[in-house]
Chain A
Amino acid sequence: QVQLVESGGGVVQSGRSLRLSCAASGFTFRSHGFHWVRQSPGKGLEWVAAIWYDGSKKYYGDSVKGRFSISRDDSKNTLYLQMNSLTVEDTALYYCARDITFTGLDSWGQGTLVTVSS
């Protein structure tokens, strides 16, 4: 069955970096685009970034543009999110999700928690 498992979250100081990973299984990884979506504690969903099925295009939300970078390694069936210059506003549960259309995210991981301290 389709499975997405995020890892790499933790507590980090403001200004530092963190790299999240999302390991996929149960489907043909290279056939899908992927997204990162985050949710601050008690708040709503915020779209973070997306990457096309072939990695040719990458898109970012305004709040992370220039600081975060999305990438994929099809040989490892793994999606990444490199997060630099973290601020307390980046504290959230980060989900990876598979897309069937750009906004149709049909499979989600359980999320990995990132806490940025000042």
Chain B
Amino acid sequence: QSALTQPPSASGSPGQSVAISCTGTSSDVGGYNYVSWYQQHPGKAPKLMIYDVTKRPSGVPDRFSGSKSGNTASLTVSGLQAEDEADYYCSSYAGGHSVFGTGTKVTVL
């Protein structure tokens, strides 16, 4: 159960877009359409932003979108805002268990 690979950091100016990758294997990301993305601000619990690769829970802005190609999933944040500065984690079903990504710190410049 190795963690999914994410870049440690990503950044963009307000209004710009940032994309975060999440690389796994055919046993997790590539094998199922069960990839989720979480946003976590310091000292707070994670918040679900995307599930089932592309679905947004009620209340999540449509600036957040998800996609997947092969063993790599991506989260794109368009129109960056100051409040988007946070840690982001992907998660994938892996056949009887879940695995999280290593996390990406997004900085709004």
| A-to-B contact residues, CB < 8 Å | 35, 37, 44-47, 50, 59-63, 95, 100-106, 108-111
Q: How far is the CA of A108 from the CA of B101 in the complex (A)?
A: 18
A104 pairs with B89, CB closer than 8 A? no
What residues on A are CB-neighbors of B55 within 8 Å? 104
B3 pairs with A50, CB closer than 8 A? no
| B-to-A contact residues, CB < 8 Å | 1, 3, 34-36, 38, 40, 45-48, 51-52, 55, 57, 89, 91-93, 96-103
What residues on B are CB-neighbors of A46 within 8 Å? 100
What residues on A are CB-neighbors of B98 within 8 Å? 35, 47, 50, 102-103
What residues on B are CB-neighbors of A61 within 8 Å? 1, 97
A-B contacts, 11 of them at CB < 8 A, read: A35-B98, A45-B89, A45-B103, A47-B100, A59-B97, A100-B57, A101-B34, A101-B51, A102-B34, A102-B93, A106-B48
